Structure formats: C-alpha cells, structure tokens
C-alpha cells in the first residue's frame, strides 16, 4: 500500500475508529493511539497505527511528511447544522435582543427570519457565493472540514434555488464538503397566507427542487407561531414522497412533539431540542434519528434553558453538535468554539463533545461512512493541534491551538493562514 501524505508521531491520535455513530458510554471512548502514525494515498486514509506497523507500507519518495511530535491529531470537525448562504445583517436586531426584546417577539414584529428573507431575495447569486465563501473560510479556521448548509431564507422558488445553487457552486470551488438541505418550511413568507404557501410548497416547490437534485435533505421549523404538527406532517410527507431525506427544527422554544414527529418519519435528525419531552427522548433513544444540539443558540440568545443532555446521552440518543450559524440566533461558525460551549455550558464531557462534533455529526448529515473518524478508506480530513493532549484544548479555552487543517490529504490551514 502506498502513502503520499504521512503524519508521524502524533502524541495522541484520536481515531474514534468505526464508521457508525456512538451512543451512551461509548461517546467517551475516543480510541486514541499514542505516538500514532496516519498516512493517506490520493486523499484517502491508507494507513493508521504505530511506527512498527509502517514497514508493510511504501512511503513515496516525494510524500509530504508532517512530524507531529508533541501534537494531538483528530478527525476534521463536522458542522451538522448551518444556515450558510444568506444576505444582509441583523446587528440592530441583535442590539434590541440584548436590550431585552425576546427572539420570538422580534419574529412577530416582522423582523427575524423575515428580514433575512428580504435581504436574501435582493442579493445576487454572485454576491451570495462570495460572502458565503468567506464564511466557509472562517469555518475552516474553526476546524470544520465538512458542513451541512440550509436554504430557507428565500421561501419562494427562485430564491431557494439561488441559495441551493450557491451551495452547489461552493462545493465545487471550496475544499470544505457541503451537504445541502432545502429548508422550505423555515417560516411563512412575508405577505402570504400560510395555506397558500403550504399548497405551493407541496405541489410546486418540493417537486421542482427534488427534480433539480439540488438538496439531499428537506427541513422545517415546527414551532408555535410558525408551523404546527399537522402542517409540518404535510410538508414532511410530501418531501419524503419526492425522495428527500428529512431533518426537523424541533422543540426549540416550545414543545409541539417535534422529536416524536421526526422519529415517526424516520428523519435523519431532530435539531435544537431544548424543550424535548421525556417521550421525545424515549422516541429518539429507540430510533436512528440523531439529536443535533446547538449550544451557540444558548450562548448567543442568552437563553436560560438548556437541552437535557445528560438524560439524552444516558438513554442512548445519538447526540451530535452543530453551530446553527445564522444571522439571528447564532452568528457563530467556529466548531471548536461550539465544542467548548458544549462542555462549559451544556454538560458534555470533553470526550462526548469531540465525539458529537465528529463521527456523530457526520452521521447526522449522512456522511459517517466518509468522514468523522480516522480509519482506512475514509477521507484524510484531520486537525493537528500544537499541544500534546486534547484536554489542553478545553483547559485553556481561549487559546487557539489549531496548527494544521488537512482536507483530503492537502494542507488547507497552516498556522493562521489558509493555503488554498
């Protein structure tokens, strides 16, 4: 077996070995190889182990070699929930929120999602690609090598296609892998009757976007004042019939049985879950639907209610992490920061946060066979930190230890510099 890229002597090679998500106590087992070596060929991992095992492999003469002595190495992080391509900025609304106006109250006053819908409808495709490209660069600096990205700020066919088209182009021109989601059920468009929109969505938009093949997942927001359970059910049914896999913004500000609905439809994930019920936890724990936890929202909106993380993990729910990067409730797209918020604010252990942000997040976007852990055949997507133990990353949370980001066997971040 040949090796054209080799990282040798990692103080801790965090492998998370395996290509399926981890539940319960297994989330604490990072499967670390001390003084580990990892090599790849053509961007795929071809070797993982210790120095003595390397003798059966051929390291090519001009192979790129990194000596990671005294450095931790782990899989590239996966951001399983972002609203990457949007227009405009909601800084003024942010100030209002800090001055005491609740997030859902702003939505009621016609700000919130609706104001980003307006700005996203106005922006050109070219401009949308360009600003989203800069955002992706920031994701890389935060350790992400694969992300999910949602539309949902157009709510008309033309703009939703523009957002999904931006994601398609970015997937071609940017090293980060992006999994596209059509968030057609994000809100009711401005100046539109809900029933009229639902009709259009189900009979026109969902079939048309499915036909274009621009998104893998369909997503909706089940929430008081947005879509109720029966309305959400109609959308999910139509999306499923048109070949989409499903995701759901569920149990965020109120509990409308979102987690249970996601399980009923065999959704890949239920996201937010701050107000998930006992029944919802039970349903998730018995299913293959992942919970996507978004600590950035708790932090950014100064929430006081946390999702019941301990209970979810103890009951065996597949728990993953995302940034929820968006202009209203989490203007954060740094996954290392998110993993730290998970530990400091939401009761994850350090090991659970790493597992949730790698293999479990990969599962939440259907990429667990490709990324999220280090094993032969998977993409050579790795992070190398300038410190000997992963504990230091949390022990000194304000310090940036990230030294290299490697995507498919190419260095894309070297120190603070992007190299693509």
Q: How many of the chain's residues bind Fe ion (CB under 5 A)?
A: 1
Please enumerate in sequence order all residues whose Cβ is within 8 A of that of 408, keeping only pairs 6 or more positions apart, or say none. Answer: 43, 44, 175, 379, 380, 381
CA atoms of 214 and 45, how far apart (whole Å): 29
CA distance 71 to 390: 9
Contact by Cβ (8 Å): 363, 20? yes
Say if residue 84 is exposed, middle or buried (CB neighbours under 10 Å; 0-12, 13-18, 19+): buried
Number of neighbours of residue 255 by Cβ within 10 angstroms:
20
3-state secondary structure of 130: helix
Structure tokens that stand for 315 in this block: 């009951």
CB of 30 to Fe ion, least distance (A): 28
Residue 154, binding choice from ligand NIG, Fe ion, none, Cβ under 5 to 8 Å by partner class: none
**60: helix, strand or coil:** strand
Burial state string for 176-191 with b = 16 or more CB within 10 A and e = fewer than 16: bbbbbbbbbbbbbbee
**Residues 256 and 287 sit within 8 Å (Cβ to Cβ):** no
- The packing angle between helices 157-173 and 125-141, to 10°, is 50
Greatest Cα pair distance in the chain: 68
Minimum distance, C-beta of residue 149 to ligand NIG, in the bound complex (Å): 12
Q: How far is the CB of 95 from ligand NIG (least distance, A)?
A: 15
Least separation in angstroms between CB 81 and Fe ion = 6
Shortest CB 152 distance to ligand NIG, Å: 7
Q: Which is closer to Fe ion, CB of 177 or CB of 324?
A: 324
CA gap 313, 281 in Å, rounded: 10
Burial label for 389, CB within 10 Å (0-12, 13-18, 19+), is: middle
Distance CA 265, CA 272 (A): 17
Q: Mask 16-45, x = binds Fe ion (CB under 5 A)?
A: ------------------------------
What residues form DSSP beta bridges with 330?
A: 326
**Among residues 326, 355, 373, 387, the one that binds ligand NIG under rule CB under 6 A:** 326
What residue number has its CB nearest to ligand NIG?
Answer: 328
Least CB distance to Fe ion at residue 326 (A): 6
73 is in the binding site of which of ligand NIG, Fe ion, none (Cβ under 5 to 8 A by kind)?
none
410-414 vs 417-418, strand pairing mode: antiparallel
Provide the minimum distance between the beta carbon of 128 and Fe ion in the complex, in angstroms, as a whole number: 18
Q: Does 296 bind ligand NIG (CB under 6 A)?
A: no
Q: CB–CB of 20/37 below 8 Å? A: no
Least distance CB 110 / ligand NIG (angstroms): 13
Q: In this chain, which of 175, 185, 327, 409 binds ligand NIG, going by CB under 6 A?
A: 327
- Our finding on whether 328 is near ligand NIG (CB under 6 A) is yes
Nearer to ligand NIG, 112 or 257 (CB): 112
Residues 215-274 that bind ligand NIG (CB under 6 A): 221, 249, 252
CB 329 to Fe ion: min, Å? 7
Number of residues that this document lists for the chain: 420
329 binds ligand NIG (CB under 6 A): yes
Does 252 participate in binding Fe ion (rule CB under 5 A)? no
Q: Which of 112, 180, 280, 295 binds ligand NIG (CB under 6 A)?
A: 112
Choices 121-129, 201-209, 324-332, 377-385 (CB under 6 A): range interacting with ligand NIG: 324-332
Name which of residues 294 to 333 contact Fe ion (CB under 5 A): 324
Does residue 116 bind ligand NIG (CB under 6 A)? yes
Tell whether residue 219 is a contact of Fe ion (CB under 5 A): no
Of the pair 165, 324, the CB lying nearest ligand NIG is at 324
> Of 315, 263, 323, 265, nearest to 293 (Cα)?
323
Residue number, 220 or 367, with CB nearest to Fe ion: 220
Examine residue 148 and tell whether it contacts ligand NIG (CB under 6 A).
no
Sites of contact with ligand NIG (CB under 6 A): 112-113, 116, 221, 249, 252, 297, 324, 326-329
Sites of contact with Fe ion (CB under 5 A): 324
């Amino acid at each position: 077996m040949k090796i054209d890229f080799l990282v040798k002597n990692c103080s801790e090679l965090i492998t998370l070995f395996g290509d399926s998500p981890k539940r319960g106590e297994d989330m604490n087992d990072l499967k670390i190889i001390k003084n580990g070596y990892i090599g790849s060929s053509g961007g795929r991992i071809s070797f993982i182990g210790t120095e003595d095992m390397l003798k059966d492999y051929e390291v090519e003469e001009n192979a790129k070699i990194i000596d990671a002595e005294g450095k931790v190495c782990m899989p590239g992080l996966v951001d399983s929930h972002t609203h990457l391509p949007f227009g405009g900025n909601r800084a003024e609304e942010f100030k209002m929120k800090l001055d005491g106006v609740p997030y859902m109250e702003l939505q009621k006053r016609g700000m919130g999602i609706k104001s980003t819908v307006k700005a996203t409808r106005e922006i050109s495709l070219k401009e949308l690609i360009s600003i989203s490209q800069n955002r992706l660069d920031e994701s890389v600096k935060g350790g992400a090598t694969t992300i999910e990205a949602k539309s949902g700020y157009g709510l008309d066919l033309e703009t939703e296609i523009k957002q999904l088209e931006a994601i398609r182009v970015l997937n071609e021109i940017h090293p980060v892998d992006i999994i596209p989601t059509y968030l057609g059920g994000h809100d009711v468009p401005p100046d539109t009757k809900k029933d009229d929109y639902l009709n259009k969505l189900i009979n026109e938009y969902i079939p048309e976007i499915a036909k274009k093949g621009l998104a893998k997942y369909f997503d909706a927001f089940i929430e008081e004042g947005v879509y109720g359970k029966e309305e959400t059910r109609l959308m999910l049914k139509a999306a499923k019939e048109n070949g989409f896999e499903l995701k759901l913004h569920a149990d965020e500000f109120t509990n409308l049985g979102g987690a249970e609905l996601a399980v009923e439809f065999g959704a890949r994930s239920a996201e937010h879950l701050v107000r998930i019920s006992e029944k919802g936890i039970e349903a998730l724990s018995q299913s293959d639907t992942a919970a996507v936890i978004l600590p950035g929202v708790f932090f950014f909106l100064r929430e006081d209610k946390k999702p019941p993380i301990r209970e979810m993990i103890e009951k065996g729910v597949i728990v993953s992490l995302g940034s929820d990067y968006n202009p209203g409730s989490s203007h954060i797209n740094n996954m290392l920061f998110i993993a730290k918020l998970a530990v400091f604010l939401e009761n994850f252990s350090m090991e659970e946060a790493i597992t949730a942000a790698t293999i479990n997040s990969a599962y939440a976007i259907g990429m667990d066979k490709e990324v999220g852990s280090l094993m032969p055949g998977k993409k050579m997507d790795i992070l190398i930190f300038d410190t000997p133990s992963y504990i230091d990353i949390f022990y000194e949370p304000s310090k940036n230890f990230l030294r290299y980001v490697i995507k498919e066997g190419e260095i894309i971040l070297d120190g603070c510099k992007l190299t693509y």
